[in-house]
Structure 1
Amino acid sequence: MIRILISSIFLMLSTSMMAQSNLQKVFNQKMDVADSREMGTKMLRMSESFLGMPYVGGTLEGNPTERLVCKFDGLDCTTLVESSIALAVAKTENPTFEGYKNELTKLRYRDGIIDGYPSRLHYILDWLYENEKRGRLEDITEKVGGVPYKKEINFMTNHANLYPALAETSAWEKVKEQENLINSREHSYIPKAEIQKAEPMLHDGDIVAFTSAVEGLDVNHMGVITRVGSRAYLIHASLAGKKVIISNVPLAEYVASVPKHTGMIVARLTDNNQ
Protein backbone atom coordinates (compact mmCIF):
# COMPACT_ATOMS: atom_id res chain seq x y z
CA MET A 1 0.00 0.00 0.00
CA ILE A 2 2.81 2.41 0.96
CA ARG A 3 4.68 1.52 -2.25
CA ILE A 4 1.55 2.31 -4.32
CA LEU A 5 1.09 5.63 -2.50
CA ILE A 6 4.73 6.61 -3.09
CA SER A 7 4.41 5.65 -6.76
CA SER A 8 1.27 7.77 -7.09
CA ILE A 9 2.95 10.79 -5.50
CA PHE A 10 6.00 10.36 -7.74
CA LEU A 11 3.77 10.15 -10.81
CA MET A 12 1.92 13.34 -9.86
CA LEU A 13 5.18 15.19 -9.23
CA SER A 14 6.64 13.95 -12.51
CA THR A 15 3.50 15.01 -14.41
CA SER A 16 3.56 18.43 -12.78
CA MET A 17 7.26 18.91 -13.59
CA MET A 18 6.66 17.85 -17.20
CA ALA A 19 3.78 20.29 -17.56
CA GLN A 20 5.91 23.09 -16.10
CA SER A 21 8.75 22.21 -18.48
CA ASN A 22 6.38 22.32 -21.47
CA LEU A 23 5.03 25.71 -20.39
CA GLN A 24 8.57 27.05 -20.06
CA LYS A 25 9.43 25.74 -23.53
CA VAL A 26 6.40 27.38 -25.14
CA PHE A 27 7.06 30.61 -23.22
CA ASN A 28 10.61 30.69 -24.58
CA GLN A 29 9.22 30.30 -28.10
CA LYS A 30 6.80 33.19 -27.50
CA MET A 31 9.70 35.39 -26.42
CA ASP A 32 11.23 34.82 -29.88
CA VAL A 33 8.17 36.33 -31.60
CA ALA A 34 9.12 39.37 -33.71
CA ASP A 35 9.54 42.42 -31.49
CA SER A 36 8.36 46.02 -31.84
CA ARG A 37 8.80 49.20 -29.85
CA GLU A 38 5.03 49.74 -29.91
CA MET A 39 3.12 47.98 -27.12
CA GLY A 40 0.05 47.58 -29.35
CA THR A 41 2.11 45.81 -32.01
CA LYS A 42 3.64 43.56 -29.35
CA MET A 43 0.12 42.72 -28.19
CA LEU A 44 -0.98 41.93 -31.74
CA ARG A 45 2.03 39.70 -32.45
CA MET A 46 1.48 37.73 -29.24
CA SER A 47 -2.22 37.21 -29.99
CA GLU A 48 -1.34 36.15 -33.55
CA SER A 49 1.03 33.53 -32.10
CA PHE A 50 -2.05 31.72 -30.72
CA LEU A 51 -3.89 31.48 -34.06
CA GLY A 52 -5.15 27.92 -34.53
CA MET A 53 -4.92 27.11 -30.81
CA PRO A 54 -7.97 25.11 -29.63
CA TYR A 55 -10.82 26.88 -27.89
CA VAL A 56 -11.28 25.52 -24.36
CA GLY A 57 -14.13 26.98 -22.31
CA GLY A 58 -13.85 27.70 -18.59
CA THR A 59 -10.07 27.37 -18.51
CA LEU A 60 -9.85 28.94 -15.03
CA GLU A 61 -12.55 26.86 -13.38
CA GLY A 62 -12.65 23.51 -11.58
CA ASN A 63 -9.74 23.86 -9.15
CA PRO A 64 -10.43 22.98 -5.48
CA THR A 65 -8.73 26.23 -4.42
CA GLU A 66 -8.08 29.40 -6.40
CA ARG A 67 -4.65 29.38 -8.02
CA LEU A 68 -2.89 30.94 -11.00
CA VAL A 69 -3.68 28.95 -14.15
CA CYS A 70 -1.18 29.24 -17.01
CA LYS A 71 -2.18 27.54 -20.25
CA PHE A 72 -0.75 27.75 -23.75
CA ASP A 73 -2.50 24.68 -25.21
CA GLY A 74 -6.12 25.82 -25.02
CA LEU A 75 -7.72 29.21 -24.42
CA ASP A 76 -11.05 30.95 -23.99
CA CYS A 77 -11.64 34.55 -25.02
CA THR A 78 -10.50 36.08 -21.74
CA THR A 79 -7.39 33.94 -21.28
CA LEU A 80 -6.33 34.69 -24.88
CA VAL A 81 -6.39 38.41 -24.08
CA GLU A 82 -4.73 38.02 -20.68
CA SER A 83 -2.03 35.69 -21.99
CA SER A 84 -1.25 38.02 -24.90
CA ILE A 85 -0.96 41.04 -22.59
CA ALA A 86 1.22 39.19 -20.08
CA LEU A 87 3.54 37.96 -22.86
CA ALA A 88 3.82 41.44 -24.40
CA VAL A 89 4.60 42.93 -20.99
CA ALA A 90 7.10 40.19 -20.12
CA LYS A 91 8.94 40.71 -23.41
CA THR A 92 9.21 44.42 -22.61
CA GLU A 93 9.89 44.39 -18.88
CA ASN A 94 11.04 40.97 -17.67
CA PRO A 95 11.42 38.24 -20.34
CA THR A 96 11.29 35.33 -17.89
CA PHE A 97 8.51 32.86 -17.13
CA GLU A 98 8.33 34.31 -13.62
CA GLY A 99 7.90 37.77 -15.13
CA TYR A 100 5.05 36.45 -17.26
CA LYS A 101 3.32 34.82 -14.29
CA ASN A 102 3.72 37.95 -12.21
CA GLU A 103 1.98 40.09 -14.83
CA LEU A 104 -0.74 37.48 -15.36
CA THR A 105 -1.45 37.52 -11.62
CA LYS A 106 -1.69 41.32 -11.59
CA LEU A 107 -4.02 41.28 -14.61
CA ARG A 108 -6.35 38.62 -13.25
CA TYR A 109 -6.57 39.32 -9.51
CA ARG A 110 -7.53 42.36 -7.47
CA ASP A 111 -4.35 44.14 -6.34
CA GLY A 112 -2.40 41.20 -7.80
CA ILE A 113 -3.23 39.02 -4.79
CA ILE A 114 -4.76 35.54 -5.07
CA ASP A 115 -7.09 35.26 -2.08
CA GLY A 116 -9.85 32.83 -2.98
CA TYR A 117 -12.43 32.84 -5.76
CA PRO A 118 -13.75 36.40 -5.16
CA SER A 119 -10.25 37.87 -5.59
CA ARG A 120 -10.40 37.08 -9.32
CA LEU A 121 -11.68 39.91 -11.53
CA HIS A 122 -14.67 38.02 -12.90
CA TYR A 123 -16.49 40.91 -14.59
CA ILE A 124 -14.70 42.55 -17.53
CA LEU A 125 -15.90 45.99 -16.40
CA ASP A 126 -14.11 45.37 -13.11
CA TRP A 127 -11.08 43.90 -14.90
CA LEU A 128 -10.82 47.05 -17.05
CA TYR A 129 -11.23 49.37 -14.07
CA GLU A 130 -8.56 47.66 -11.94
CA ASN A 131 -6.03 47.36 -14.76
CA GLU A 132 -6.55 50.97 -15.78
CA LYS A 133 -6.09 52.02 -12.15
CA ARG A 134 -2.65 50.40 -12.06
CA GLY A 135 -1.66 51.98 -15.37
CA ARG A 136 -1.52 48.89 -17.55
CA LEU A 137 -4.24 49.98 -19.97
CA GLU A 138 -6.57 52.86 -20.79
CA ASP A 139 -10.29 52.57 -21.45
CA ILE A 140 -10.57 54.69 -24.63
CA THR A 141 -14.24 53.92 -25.35
CA GLU A 142 -15.43 57.47 -24.75
CA LYS A 143 -12.63 58.87 -26.95
CA VAL A 144 -13.72 56.78 -29.95
CA GLY A 145 -17.42 57.57 -29.82
CA GLY A 146 -18.66 55.93 -26.64
CA VAL A 147 -21.87 56.89 -24.86
CA PRO A 148 -22.96 56.06 -21.28
CA TYR A 149 -23.45 52.35 -20.62
CA LYS A 150 -26.11 52.06 -17.96
CA LYS A 151 -26.89 48.56 -16.81
CA GLU A 152 -27.36 46.77 -13.48
CA ILE A 153 -24.64 44.12 -13.21
CA ASN A 154 -25.66 41.16 -11.04
CA PHE A 155 -25.50 38.04 -13.21
CA MET A 156 -23.19 36.01 -10.98
CA THR A 157 -25.07 36.46 -7.72
CA ASN A 158 -28.44 36.08 -9.44
CA HIS A 159 -27.25 32.81 -11.03
CA ALA A 160 -25.10 31.43 -8.22
CA ASN A 161 -26.12 27.91 -9.24
CA LEU A 162 -23.85 28.30 -12.28
CA TYR A 163 -20.82 29.03 -10.08
CA PRO A 164 -20.04 26.24 -7.59
CA ALA A 165 -17.63 28.48 -5.67
CA LEU A 166 -20.54 30.80 -4.77
CA ALA A 167 -22.19 28.05 -2.73
CA GLU A 168 -20.10 29.41 0.14
CA THR A 169 -22.03 32.35 1.64
CA SER A 170 -18.94 34.50 2.24
CA ALA A 171 -17.86 34.13 -1.40
CA TRP A 172 -21.34 35.12 -2.62
CA GLU A 173 -21.34 38.16 -0.34
CA LYS A 174 -17.92 39.32 -1.56
CA VAL A 175 -18.94 39.00 -5.20
CA LYS A 176 -22.13 40.91 -4.41
CA GLU A 177 -20.01 43.70 -2.92
CA GLN A 178 -17.97 43.77 -6.14
CA GLU A 179 -21.15 44.01 -8.23
CA ASN A 180 -22.28 46.94 -6.11
CA LEU A 181 -18.95 48.71 -6.72
CA ILE A 182 -19.21 48.10 -10.47
CA ASN A 183 -22.72 49.55 -10.45
CA SER A 184 -21.51 52.64 -8.59
CA ARG A 185 -19.11 53.58 -11.41
CA GLU A 186 -19.72 55.25 -14.76
CA HIS A 187 -19.13 53.20 -17.92
CA SER A 188 -19.18 53.85 -21.66
CA TYR A 189 -19.82 51.70 -24.71
CA ILE A 190 -20.14 52.10 -28.46
CA PRO A 191 -23.58 50.92 -29.60
CA LYS A 192 -23.61 48.24 -32.28
CA ALA A 193 -24.88 50.60 -34.99
CA GLU A 194 -21.99 53.04 -34.37
CA ILE A 195 -19.06 50.59 -34.45
CA GLN A 196 -18.16 51.13 -38.12
CA LYS A 197 -17.71 54.85 -37.40
CA ALA A 198 -15.27 53.96 -34.61
CA GLU A 199 -13.26 51.44 -36.67
CA PRO A 200 -10.84 54.00 -38.22
CA MET A 201 -9.81 55.09 -34.71
CA LEU A 202 -8.85 51.57 -33.59
CA HIS A 203 -5.21 50.45 -33.54
CA ASP A 204 -3.51 47.08 -33.90
CA GLY A 205 -3.50 45.37 -30.52
CA ASP A 206 -6.47 47.24 -29.07
CA ILE A 207 -8.62 45.15 -26.72
CA VAL A 208 -12.35 45.04 -27.44
CA ALA A 209 -15.09 43.59 -25.25
CA PHE A 210 -18.66 43.14 -26.45
CA THR A 211 -21.47 44.33 -24.21
CA SER A 212 -24.25 41.88 -23.51
CA ALA A 213 -27.99 41.74 -24.09
CA VAL A 214 -28.18 39.15 -21.29
CA GLU A 215 -29.81 40.57 -18.16
CA GLY A 216 -27.27 41.35 -15.43
CA LEU A 217 -24.20 40.52 -17.55
CA ASP A 218 -21.67 43.15 -18.61
CA VAL A 219 -19.79 41.48 -21.46
CA ASN A 220 -20.25 38.36 -23.60
CA HIS A 221 -16.91 38.08 -25.36
CA MET A 222 -13.58 39.82 -26.02
CA GLY A 223 -10.67 39.82 -28.41
CA VAL A 224 -7.85 41.79 -30.05
CA ILE A 225 -7.95 44.16 -33.02
CA THR A 226 -5.90 43.60 -36.17
CA ARG A 227 -6.15 46.09 -39.00
CA VAL A 228 -6.46 44.76 -42.56
CA GLY A 229 -6.46 47.54 -45.12
CA SER A 230 -8.90 50.22 -44.01
CA ARG A 231 -10.93 47.92 -41.74
CA ALA A 232 -10.53 46.42 -38.27
CA TYR A 233 -10.86 42.66 -37.76
CA LEU A 234 -11.04 40.58 -34.58
CA ILE A 235 -8.58 37.98 -33.30
CA HIS A 236 -10.48 35.90 -30.76
CA ALA A 237 -10.87 32.47 -29.20
CA SER A 238 -14.05 31.44 -30.98
CA LEU A 239 -16.50 28.96 -29.50
CA ALA A 240 -18.13 28.51 -32.92
CA GLY A 241 -14.79 28.14 -34.69
CA LYS A 242 -13.40 25.93 -31.89
CA LYS A 243 -10.04 27.72 -32.04
CA VAL A 244 -8.31 31.09 -32.07
CA ILE A 245 -9.16 32.78 -35.37
CA ILE A 246 -9.31 36.08 -37.22
CA SER A 247 -12.92 37.02 -37.98
CA ASN A 248 -13.82 36.45 -41.62
CA VAL A 249 -15.68 39.77 -41.76
CA PRO A 250 -14.71 43.23 -40.43
CA LEU A 251 -15.47 44.15 -36.83
CA ALA A 252 -18.73 46.05 -37.40
CA GLU A 253 -20.17 43.22 -39.49
CA TYR A 254 -19.03 40.63 -36.94
CA VAL A 255 -20.76 42.43 -34.05
CA ALA A 256 -23.90 42.99 -36.16
CA SER A 257 -24.09 39.23 -36.77
CA VAL A 258 -24.29 38.32 -33.06
CA PRO A 259 -27.73 39.16 -31.57
CA LYS A 260 -26.57 39.06 -27.95
CA HIS A 261 -23.85 41.69 -28.59
CA THR A 262 -25.22 45.20 -28.03
CA GLY A 263 -22.00 47.14 -28.63
CA MET A 264 -18.37 47.27 -27.55
CA ILE A 265 -15.86 48.67 -25.08
CA VAL A 266 -12.30 49.49 -26.19
CA ALA A 267 -9.06 49.52 -24.18
CA ARG A 268 -5.50 50.21 -25.21
CA LEU A 269 -2.31 49.05 -23.53
CA THR A 270 0.02 51.69 -22.14
CA ASP A 271 3.76 51.68 -21.59
CA ASN A 272 3.39 52.65 -17.94
CA ASN A 273 4.99 50.16 -15.59
CA GLN A 274 3.35 49.50 -12.24
Structure 2
Amino acid sequence: MAMQPTTSRRNLLRLAVGLPLLGLFRPAFAARAALIERLIAEAGPLPRVSQRMDYISGKLLGISYQANTLIGSPGSPEKFVVRDDAFDCVTYCEVVLAAALAHDMGEFETVLRKIRYDRGRVQYEQRNHYWAEWCQRNIANGVCRPIAIEPSVTYEKTLTWHGELGKRRVSIKAISKAAMMDNARLLEPGDIVGFTSGRAGLDYYHTGLVAFGRNGELLLRNASQRRRRVVEERMSEFAAINPVRYVTLLRPAEPSAPIAERH
Protein backbone atom coordinates (compact mmCIF):
# COMPACT_ATOMS: atom_id res chain seq x y z
CA MET A 1 0.00 0.00 0.00
CA ALA A 2 1.42 3.36 -1.03
CA MET A 3 2.08 5.91 1.69
CA GLN A 4 0.20 9.20 1.45
CA PRO A 5 2.32 12.35 1.27
CA THR A 6 2.32 14.05 4.65
CA THR A 7 4.60 17.03 4.05
CA SER A 8 2.60 20.18 4.68
CA ARG A 9 3.29 23.69 3.36
CA ARG A 10 4.59 24.60 6.82
CA ASN A 11 7.01 21.66 6.86
CA LEU A 12 8.24 22.56 3.38
CA LEU A 13 8.95 26.10 4.56
CA ARG A 14 10.80 24.75 7.59
CA LEU A 15 12.84 22.50 5.33
CA ALA A 16 13.69 25.39 3.03
CA VAL A 17 14.80 27.54 5.96
CA GLY A 18 17.00 24.72 7.23
CA LEU A 19 18.76 24.08 3.95
CA PRO A 20 21.48 26.73 4.40
CA LEU A 21 22.44 25.07 7.69
CA LEU A 22 23.13 21.91 5.74
CA GLY A 23 25.39 23.78 3.36
CA LEU A 24 22.89 23.86 0.48
CA PHE A 25 22.13 26.93 -1.59
CA ARG A 26 24.77 28.95 0.28
CA PRO A 27 25.67 32.29 -1.22
CA ALA A 28 29.36 32.70 -1.98
CA PHE A 29 29.66 35.88 0.11
CA ALA A 30 32.19 37.15 -2.43
CA ALA A 31 30.79 40.66 -1.99
CA ARG A 32 32.66 42.98 0.31
CA ALA A 33 32.29 42.17 3.99
CA ALA A 34 31.58 45.36 5.91
CA LEU A 35 33.04 44.19 9.22
CA ILE A 36 36.33 43.12 7.64
CA GLU A 37 36.60 46.41 5.78
CA ARG A 38 36.06 48.35 8.99
CA LEU A 39 38.62 46.30 10.93
CA ILE A 40 41.26 46.77 8.22
CA ALA A 41 40.81 50.53 8.55
CA GLU A 42 40.83 50.49 12.36
CA ALA A 43 43.93 48.29 12.59
CA GLY A 44 45.79 50.18 9.87
CA PRO A 45 47.66 52.64 12.15
CA LEU A 46 49.21 49.77 14.15
CA PRO A 47 52.79 49.39 12.87
CA ARG A 48 53.31 45.62 13.07
CA VAL A 49 51.40 42.71 11.52
CA SER A 50 51.28 40.95 14.89
CA GLN A 51 49.61 43.98 16.48
CA ARG A 52 47.04 44.17 13.70
CA MET A 53 46.32 40.45 13.99
CA ASP A 54 45.85 40.78 17.73
CA TYR A 55 43.43 43.67 17.26
CA ILE A 56 41.42 42.09 14.44
CA SER A 57 41.23 38.62 15.98
CA GLY A 58 39.95 40.13 19.24
CA LYS A 59 37.22 42.06 17.44
CA LEU A 60 35.96 38.81 15.87
CA LEU A 61 35.39 37.07 19.20
CA GLY A 62 31.82 35.81 19.42
CA ILE A 63 31.31 35.30 15.67
CA SER A 64 29.54 32.00 14.93
CA TYR A 65 31.36 28.77 14.15
CA GLN A 66 30.34 27.03 10.96
CA ALA A 67 32.04 24.13 9.25
CA ASN A 68 32.39 23.82 5.48
CA THR A 69 32.10 27.52 4.71
CA LEU A 70 33.99 27.21 1.44
CA ILE A 71 32.25 26.29 -1.81
CA GLY A 72 33.58 23.82 -4.35
CA SER A 73 34.13 20.11 -4.89
CA PRO A 74 35.72 17.79 -7.44
CA GLY A 75 32.46 17.92 -9.37
CA SER A 76 31.47 21.57 -8.96
CA PRO A 77 33.32 24.86 -9.54
CA GLU A 78 35.28 26.43 -6.73
CA LYS A 79 33.95 29.83 -5.64
CA PHE A 80 35.99 32.42 -3.80
CA VAL A 81 34.28 32.97 -0.45
CA VAL A 82 34.64 36.06 1.72
CA ARG A 83 32.43 36.26 4.77
CA ASP A 84 32.55 37.81 8.21
CA ASP A 85 29.51 36.16 9.80
CA ALA A 86 30.84 32.62 10.40
CA PHE A 87 34.20 30.83 10.43
CA ASP A 88 35.75 27.43 10.87
CA CYS A 89 39.15 27.21 12.56
CA VAL A 90 41.09 27.64 9.31
CA THR A 91 39.05 30.41 7.70
CA TYR A 92 39.20 32.41 10.95
CA CYS A 93 43.01 32.35 10.82
CA GLU A 94 43.04 33.10 7.09
CA VAL A 95 40.71 36.10 7.33
CA VAL A 96 42.58 37.60 10.30
CA LEU A 97 45.94 37.13 8.57
CA ALA A 98 44.77 38.57 5.24
CA ALA A 99 43.11 41.54 6.94
CA ALA A 100 46.25 42.29 8.97
CA LEU A 101 48.39 42.26 5.81
CA ALA A 102 46.02 44.34 3.66
CA HIS A 103 45.45 48.07 3.37
CA ASP A 104 42.00 47.86 1.80
CA MET A 105 39.40 45.31 0.67
CA GLY A 106 40.83 44.92 -2.81
CA GLU A 107 44.21 43.97 -1.39
CA PHE A 108 42.53 41.80 1.27
CA GLU A 109 40.84 39.64 -1.36
CA THR A 110 44.08 39.27 -3.33
CA VAL A 111 46.02 38.28 -0.21
CA LEU A 112 43.30 35.88 0.95
CA ARG A 113 43.45 34.06 -2.39
CA LYS A 114 47.22 33.80 -2.01
CA ILE A 115 46.88 32.39 1.51
CA ARG A 116 44.05 29.95 0.77
CA TYR A 117 45.11 28.61 -2.62
CA ASP A 118 48.37 27.47 -4.18
CA ARG A 119 49.63 30.52 -6.14
CA GLY A 120 46.26 32.19 -5.58
CA ARG A 121 44.45 30.01 -8.12
CA VAL A 122 40.82 29.59 -7.08
CA GLN A 123 40.38 25.92 -7.91
CA TYR A 124 39.31 23.05 -5.68
CA GLU A 125 42.50 21.11 -6.40
CA GLN A 126 44.63 24.15 -5.50
CA ARG A 127 42.94 24.83 -2.16
CA ASN A 128 45.09 24.11 0.91
CA HIS A 129 42.97 21.22 2.14
CA TYR A 130 45.63 20.04 4.57
CA TRP A 131 47.19 22.31 7.18
CA ALA A 132 50.64 20.85 6.46
CA GLU A 133 50.36 22.10 2.87
CA TRP A 134 48.92 25.40 4.11
CA CYS A 135 52.07 25.88 6.21
CA GLN A 136 54.49 24.82 3.49
CA ARG A 137 52.94 27.04 0.83
CA ASN A 138 52.58 30.11 3.03
CA ILE A 139 56.20 29.81 4.14
CA ALA A 140 57.28 29.42 0.52
CA ASN A 141 55.32 32.49 -0.63
CA GLY A 142 56.69 34.66 2.18
CA VAL A 143 53.43 35.16 4.09
CA CYS A 144 54.65 33.30 7.19
CA ARG A 145 57.84 31.99 8.69
CA PRO A 146 58.41 29.13 11.13
CA ILE A 147 59.10 29.91 14.78
CA ALA A 148 62.33 28.21 15.85
CA ILE A 149 61.85 26.53 19.22
CA GLU A 150 63.86 23.49 20.26
CA PRO A 151 63.72 20.62 20.80
CA SER A 152 61.63 19.91 17.71
CA VAL A 153 60.61 16.75 15.88
CA THR A 154 60.21 16.13 12.16
CA TYR A 155 58.28 13.19 10.79
CA GLU A 156 56.68 12.01 7.56
CA LYS A 157 53.00 11.23 7.24
CA THR A 158 50.81 9.97 4.42
CA LEU A 159 47.56 11.92 4.20
CA THR A 160 44.38 10.25 2.99
CA TRP A 161 41.68 12.24 4.81
CA HIS A 162 40.56 13.87 1.56
CA GLY A 163 40.30 10.70 -0.47
CA GLU A 164 39.37 12.52 -3.64
CA LEU A 165 42.85 14.10 -3.68
CA GLY A 166 44.67 10.78 -3.50
CA LYS A 167 47.53 10.12 -1.11
CA ARG A 168 49.75 13.04 -0.07
CA ARG A 169 53.12 12.55 1.62
CA VAL A 170 54.11 15.48 3.83
CA SER A 171 56.86 16.35 6.27
CA ILE A 172 55.67 17.79 9.57
CA LYS A 173 57.94 19.78 11.89
CA ALA A 174 56.54 20.35 15.35
CA ILE A 175 57.36 20.84 19.02
CA SER A 176 55.78 19.24 22.05
CA LYS A 177 52.97 20.85 23.97
CA ALA A 178 55.33 21.21 26.94
CA ALA A 179 57.95 22.98 24.81
CA MET A 180 55.35 25.50 23.66
CA MET A 181 54.16 26.20 27.18
CA ASP A 182 57.72 26.46 28.53
CA ASN A 183 58.70 28.92 25.78
CA ALA A 184 55.64 31.16 25.85
CA ARG A 185 57.96 34.16 26.20
CA LEU A 186 59.18 33.52 22.64
CA LEU A 187 55.66 33.81 21.22
CA GLU A 188 53.84 36.92 20.05
CA PRO A 189 50.16 37.81 19.68
CA GLY A 190 48.99 36.71 16.26
CA ASP A 191 51.31 33.71 16.00
CA ILE A 192 49.54 30.81 14.31
CA VAL A 193 49.39 27.42 16.01
CA GLY A 194 48.39 24.12 14.42
CA PHE A 195 47.63 21.08 16.58
CA THR A 196 48.83 17.80 15.08
CA SER A 197 46.50 14.83 14.80
CA GLY A 198 47.15 11.29 15.95
CA ARG A 199 44.63 9.93 13.45
CA ALA A 200 45.84 7.92 10.51
CA GLY A 201 45.71 9.93 7.29
CA LEU A 202 45.23 13.33 8.97
CA ASP A 203 47.95 15.88 9.68
CA TYR A 204 46.35 18.46 12.01
CA TYR A 205 42.97 18.57 13.69
CA HIS A 206 42.74 22.23 14.74
CA THR A 207 44.37 25.63 14.42
CA GLY A 208 44.13 29.01 16.10
CA LEU A 209 45.96 32.20 17.06
CA VAL A 210 48.16 33.04 20.03
CA ALA A 211 47.07 35.80 22.38
CA PHE A 212 48.02 36.89 25.89
CA GLY A 213 45.91 37.81 28.88
CA ARG A 214 46.34 40.85 31.09
CA ASN A 215 48.54 38.87 33.46
CA GLY A 216 50.61 37.44 30.64
CA GLU A 217 48.92 34.04 30.50
CA LEU A 218 49.12 32.25 27.14
CA LEU A 219 45.75 32.21 25.38
CA LEU A 220 44.28 30.62 22.28
CA ARG A 221 41.84 32.46 20.02
CA ASN A 222 40.03 30.03 17.78
CA ALA A 223 36.80 29.22 16.01
CA SER A 224 35.63 26.48 18.36
CA GLN A 225 33.40 23.72 17.06
CA ARG A 226 32.62 22.64 20.62
CA ARG A 227 31.57 26.12 21.75
CA ARG A 228 30.05 27.08 18.37
CA ARG A 229 31.73 30.48 18.14
CA VAL A 230 35.07 32.27 18.08
CA VAL A 231 36.43 32.20 21.62
CA GLU A 232 39.46 33.06 23.69
CA GLU A 233 40.61 30.45 26.20
CA ARG A 234 43.67 29.56 28.20
CA MET A 235 46.06 27.50 26.13
CA SER A 236 46.68 25.22 29.12
CA GLU A 237 42.97 24.48 29.45
CA PHE A 238 42.57 23.79 25.74
CA ALA A 239 45.56 21.44 25.84
CA ALA A 240 44.17 19.67 28.92
CA ILE A 241 40.81 18.77 27.37
CA ASN A 242 42.05 18.05 23.82
CA PRO A 243 44.54 15.44 22.55
CA VAL A 244 47.40 17.91 22.14
CA ARG A 245 50.81 16.27 21.80
CA TYR A 246 52.64 18.32 19.19
CA VAL A 247 52.10 21.77 17.69
CA THR A 248 53.48 23.70 14.74
CA LEU A 249 54.01 27.43 15.19
CA LEU A 250 54.19 30.07 12.45
CA ARG A 251 54.64 33.83 12.60
CA PRO A 252 53.27 36.26 10.01
CA ALA A 253 56.15 37.84 8.13
CA GLU A 254 56.53 41.60 8.16
CA PRO A 255 56.26 42.42 4.44
CA SER A 256 59.12 44.35 2.87
CA ALA A 257 56.92 44.81 -0.21
CA PRO A 258 53.15 44.63 -0.72
CA ILE A 259 52.25 40.99 -0.05
CA ALA A 260 49.86 40.89 -3.01
CA GLU A 261 52.80 41.44 -5.37
CA ARG A 262 54.89 38.49 -4.13
CA HIS A 263 55.17 35.27 -6.13
Same fold (TM over 0.5): yes
Counterpart CA distance in 2 for 1:68 and 1:146 is: 39
Residues 142-199 of structure 1, C-alpha deviation per residue, up to 9 Å, x if partnerless? x222412314131325xx3xxxxx2xxxxx35xx3xx13x2xx4x3211123332122
**1:137 counterpart = 2:149:** no
Offset of residue 136 of structure 1: 1.0
Aligned length: 228
Q: Which runs of 5 or more structure 1 residues have no equivalent in the other structure?
A: 1-14, 161-165, 167-171
For normalisation by structure 1, the TM-score amounts to: 0.76
Counterpart CA distance in 1 for 2:30 and 2:180 is: 41
**1:109 counterpart = 2:117:** yes
- Tell me the percent identity: 25
Q: Equivalent of 1:262, from 213, 234, 245?
A: 245
Letter in 2 for 1:29: R
Counterpart CA distance in 2 for 1:16 and 1:126 is: 27
Q: Equivalent of 2:84, from 50, 62, 72?
A: 72
Counterpart CA distance in 2 for 1:30 and 1:86 is: 11
Q: Equivalent of 2:201, from 216, 219, 224?
A: 216
Task: Give the equivalent residue in structure 1 for 2:7.
Answer: none
Partners of 1:255 and 1:263 within 8 A in 2:
no
Q: Equivalent of 1:232, from 214, 218, 223?
A: 218
For normalisation by structure 2, the TM-score amounts to: 0.79
Q: Which structure: greater helix fraction?
A: 1
**1:48 counterpart = 2:58:** yes
RMSD: 2.2
Counterpart CA distance in 2 for 1:98 and 1:89 is: 12
Partners of 1:151 and 1:216 within 8 A in 2:
no
Partners of 1:210 and 1:221 within 8 A in 2:
yes
Would you identify which runs of 4 or more consecutive aligned residues in structure 1 move more than 3 Å?
none
Counterpart CA distance in 2 for 1:122 and 1:61 is: 12
Partners of 1:192 and 1:256 within 8 A in 2:
no
Partners of 1:80 and 1:237 within 8 A in 2:
yes
Partners of 1:43 and 1:85 within 8 A in 2:
yes
